[in-house]
Amino acid sequence: MVTAKLRAGDLSRITDMAEVKGRSLWADARKRFLLNKAAVASLLVLMFITLFSLTGEAVAPWTNEEIDFNVIGSADTKGMPSLESGHYFGTDDLGRDLFARSAQGTRVSLMVGFVGTFIAVLVGTVYGAVSGYVGGRTDAIMMRIVDILSAIPYMFVLILLLVMFGRSMFMIFVGIGLLSWLGMARIVRGQTLSLKHKEYIEAARASGVSSWKIILRHILPNLLGVVVVYTTLLIPDMIMAESFISFLGLGVQEPLTSLGALIAEGSKSIVQGSLWQLYFPLAFFTVTLYAFYFVGDGLRDALDPKDR
Amino acid sequence: MTAPLLDVRDLRVSFKIRNDGDMPWTKHRELKALNGVNLTLNAGETLGIVGESGCGKSTLARALIQIVPASGKVLWQGQTDLLTLTPRQMLAYRSQVQMVFQDPLVSLNPRMSVGAIVAEPLRTHHPDLSQTQIKQRVQEMMERVGLLPNQINRYPHEFSGGQCQRIGIARALIVGPKLLICDEPVSALDVSIQAQVINLLAELQRDLGLAMIFIAHDLSVVKHISNRVMVLYLGRTMELAASKALFAHAAHPYTKALLSAVPIPDPAKERAKQMIPLEGDLPSPMSPPSGCVFRTRCSIAQNRCASEVPALLGTTHQVACHLVNTATSEPV
């Protein structure tokens, strides 16, 4: 009897209590991500690199277009990295400051990575979700279009576009954005298919929620984990593609530069012994890519703890 | 006599089956999941539906709320045929018929808080309600189904299976339906929680005057809650009778076999009990047996069973079997 009384008292006290704060899956994932040291360190490195790419040119004593006439023609002997001359990373053969050029190149490479991926995520997610959710014939037609597009050699189209319409940042965005969403669309469609028959989707349909709202409210939030992980792996892919194009000499045009273009220039100067021209851009390139992969890995482990 | 709340006539559902690697022009094969089911349901009444897995229980529920396309007639309050409505017209009736699903955790969106989950039907059917009104109604409903209203911001994974099922019930009841379809609401829960949820459902039904279609494969659960019971086998009705009559003197050999398989919680009686074994597996619904679909596993099948489809005969105690006298519900 005493216990029954106590319980009743407890219950009223509990109901008087303020609302309990929920712990969403996102909060859980954030906690797990923050416990992953490699991923957090990589995220900090990425932030640092982004900061460098944005402010590096302002910090540098030389701008990226200024030519140091003291070193021109003898970059291998006078253009080495030194604090004295203000060329922290040395200069290239033309006497341009590599510190400022690296910052500029990193910015362009990151921009290509982010913009290309943004297009891929936007188009791919919507396309894949609609295709998977609607299903049937619509799905078949939409996915055949993806199949046909992905049968086109990607690099080939990009090179053709750049040759035909001239080399520009815009053309690179268009070329990369045009085909990069295909993989995303496939992944999202597959996920949507498996989500579609979950009972909470049926429950929403049974109570008359419109298809569009179901996609927005139930499908997309549950897809987001996969999309986020794939995105972090797509960004380095985009950077790599752009660098490859630039390495071939088809990328962005001077005076703009990118990490790929800087690496290409640097590799030509190996014979002269001015190795800093290769090392600095290459270091930024590899560190950026590694950092993205580690962050992607950390996100996957954090968002999908069951599938490890 | 007023029209029944729900009058289902000759409900058929078939799925088109394609094998992987079939050419686009290959003809679809048809899987008849429901083959002419009739039932009526009065306001406040509970109809239990039992049968093995794959007999069409869940398909029936999904056909009634039109998640799967069906043919036949589903008359609502004797007037509107729900199957002829456009999705827009159907919206008004969706708040009248709600469903509770089998797996409590899978039926709740893991990314939404409990408050948002329970509020969703309300937002859909009453878009004019303000945030505070919605929150108040959600909290009232949570209290009604035995959840603490201050848990409104929690997420499904923070609740136990039984609590999740209560959330599912709250979501179904918040728009004030007249008919609640429960698709095996307790089969994913353990026994002590089952009892709580069933008692909650029975209590809510009594208080709110709900009609219920209660699907289960556990006969003792169905017996406890139902007024009438329908036995399904391969998409056809085998027997339909008042709960007491069915459990006291089942007429159809399939029902008898099912009842004999119910364990008795008394070892002595359980040992002494005579089981009617069901031989073999459920035949493939892709190619159901001719005549009576149950004949391949029936212990008393005769030649006639292979050629003629038995009709569902009788008035209050309906049986579909050639070998049962429908007037007395006794074997002939």
Quick one: pLDDT at residue A10?
A: 54
A204 and chain B: CB distance < 8 Å anywhere? yes
β-bridge partners, B39: B8
Read off the tokens for A251.
């990328």
Distance, CA of A85 to CA of A61 (rounded, Å): 9
How many percent of chain B have pLDDT more than 70? 96
At position B45, the amino acid (one-letter code) is: E
Tell me, what's the pLDDT at A189?
93
Confidence of residue B329 (pLDDT cuts 50, 70, 90): low
CA-based end-to-end distance of chain A:
50
Q: Which residue of A has its CA nearest to B123?
A: A209
Taking an 8 Å cut-off on Cβ atoms, the answer to whether B150 and A19 are in contact is yes
Q: Indicate the average pLDDT of chain B.
A: 85
Q: Shortest Cα distance from B309 to chain A (angstroms)?
A: 34
In the numeric block, which tokens belong to residue A199?
């009972």
A48 min Cα distance to partner chain B (Å) = 32
The per-residue pLDDT for A260 is: 84
Q: How far is A108 from chain B (nearest CA, A)?
A: 36
Residue A21 contacts B, CB cutoff 8 Å: yes
B96 touches B179 (CB < 8 A): yes
Q: Judge whether A3 is closer than 8 Å to chain B, CB to CB.
A: no
- What is the distance, to the nearest Å, from the Cα of residue B183 to the centroid of all Cα atoms in its chain? 5
pLDDT value, residue A4: 45
pLDDT band at A119 (very low <50, low <70, confident <90, very high): confident
Contact A76, A273 (CB under 8 A): yes
Task: Give the pLDDT confidence score for residue A144 in this predicted structure.
Answer: 93
| Total number of residues shown for chain B | 332
With contact defined as beta carbons under 8 Å apart, do A207 and A134 qualify? no
Cβ neighbours of residue A243 closer than 8 Å, sequence gap 6 or more:
A109, A251, A258, A259, A260, A263, A285
Cβ–Cβ below 8 Å for B120 and A19 = no
B171 against A78, higher pLDDT: B171
Residue (of A260, A211, A234) closest to A123 by Cα position: A234
List, for residues A53-101, the tens digit of each pLDDT value.
888 777 777 777 777 777 666 666 776 777 677 677 777 777 777 888 8
Of B127, B39, B48, nearest to A213 by C-alpha is: B127
3-state secondary structure at position B114: helix
CA distance B195 to chain A (A): 21
B232: helix, coil or strand? strand
Q: What does the pLDDT read at residue A16?
A: 56
Cβ of B107 within 8 Å of Cβ of A218? The answer is no
Interchain contact A164–B (C-beta under 8 A): no
Q: How far is CA A197 from CA A202, A211, A218, in A?
A: 7, 14, 12
What share of chain B in percent tops pLDDT 90?
11
Residues 6+ away with beta carbon under 8 Å from A156:
none
Q: Show Cβ contacts of residue B164 under 8 Å, excluding neighbours closer than 6 positions.
A: B104, B105, B107, B108, B156
Tell whether B173 lies on the interface with A, counting CB pairs under 8 A.
no
What is chain A's mean pLDDT, rounded? 81
**What is the spatial distance between Cα A140 and Cα A293, in angstroms, rounded to a whole number?**
33
Q: Single out the residue of B5, B2, B4, B9 nearest to residue B312, CA to CA.
A: B9
Residue B245 pLDDT > 60: yes
**H or E stretch covering B237:** strand B236-242
* Nearest partner of A277 among A71, A110, A111, A113, judged by Cα: A71
* Full 3-state SS string of chain A: CHHHHHHHHHHHHHHHCCCCCCCCHHHHHHHHHHHCHHHHHHHHHHHHHHHHHHHHHHHCCCCCCCECCCCCCCHHHHCCCCCCCCCCCCECCCCEEHHHHHHHHHHHHHHHHHHHHHHHHHHHHHHHHHHHHHCHHHHHHHHHHHHHHHHCCHHHHHHHHHHHHCCCHHHHHHHHHHHHHHHHHHHHHHHHHHHHCCHHHHHHHHCCCCHHHHHHHHHHHHHHHHHHHHHHHHHHHHHHHHHHHHHCCCCCCCCCCCHHHHHHHHHHHHHHCCCHHHHHHHHHHHHHHHHHHHHHHHHHHHHCHHHC
Decide which of A201 and B28 is more confident.
A201
For residue B267, give how far its alpha carbon lies from the nearest alpha carbon of chain A (Å): 35
Task: Give the one of A25, A200, A206 whose C-beta lies nearest to B108's C-beta.
Answer: A200
DSSP assignment of B154-188 equals --GGGS-HHHHHHHHHHHHHTT--SEEEEESTTTT
pLDDT for res B167: 92
Q: Using a CB–CB cutoff of 8 Å, tell me whether A205 touches chain B.
A: yes
Q: How far apart are CA B8 and CA B40, in angstroms?
A: 6
More confident residue, A65 or A246: A246
Q: Within its chain, how far is the Cα of B32 from the centroid?
A: 18
- Chain-chain contact of A208 with B67 (C-beta, under 8 angstroms): no
- pLDDT tens string A87-99: 777 777 777 778 8
Total Cβ atoms within 10 A of residue B118: 28
- Does the beta-carbon distance from A198 to B102 stay under 8 Å? no
Burial A200-221 (b: 16+ CB within 10 A, else e): bbbbbbbbbbeeeebbebbbbe
pLDDT-based confidence at B180, cuts 50/70/90? Answer: very high
DSSP state of B243: H
A265: nearest Cα among B12, A280, B20: A280
What is the spatial distance between Cα B319 and Cα B327, in angstroms, rounded to a whole number? Answer: 10
CA B123 to chain centre: 26
Task: Return d(Cα A190, Cα A223) in angstroms, integer.
Answer: 10
Do A23 and B158 make contact, defined as CB atoms within 8 angstroms? yes
3-class secondary-structure state, position B255 = helix
Q: ipTM value of the model?
A: 0.81
What's the DSSP call for residue B108? Answer: S
CA B147 to CA B218: how far, in whole Å? 26
**Model confidence pLDDT, tens digit, residues B272-288:** 877 777 777 778 878 88
Handedness of CA A271, A277, A283, A284 (dihedral sign): negative
Q: A302 CB contacts (<8 Å, ≥6 apart)?
A: A29, A30, A32, A33, A36, A39
For residue A147, the tally of other CB atoms under 10 A from its CB is: 10
A29-307 fold? MetI-like fold (1.10.3720)
Residue range B123-135, pLDDT digits in tens: 888 888 888 899 9
Q: What is the pLDDT of residue A128?
A: 92
Mutation for testing the B interface, residue in A200, A212, A223, A227 having most B CBs under 10 Å: A200
How confident is the model at residue B326, as a pLDDT? Answer: 56
Q: Is the pLDDT of residue B11 over 80?
A: yes
- Is a pLDDT exceeding 80 seen at residue A153? yes
B181: closest CA of chain A, how far (Å): 11
Question: Which of B98, B102, B120, B136 best probes binding to A when mutated, by most A CB atoms within 10 angstroms?
Answer: B120
What is the rounded CA–CA span in Å between residue B113 and residue B115?
5
Contact A15 B148 (CB under 8 A): yes
A1 Cβ under 8 Å from any chain B Cβ = no
pLDDT confidence band for A186 (50 / 70 / 90): very high
Segments making up each domain of chain A, as ranges: 29-307
Q: Closest Cα partner for B155 from B105, B102, B218, B120?
A: B105
- Cβ-contact B56, B12 below 8 angstroms: no
Q: Please list the residues that pair with B76 across neighbouring strands.
A: B6, B80
Examine the pLDDT at A280 and tell me if it is beyond 80.
Answer: yes
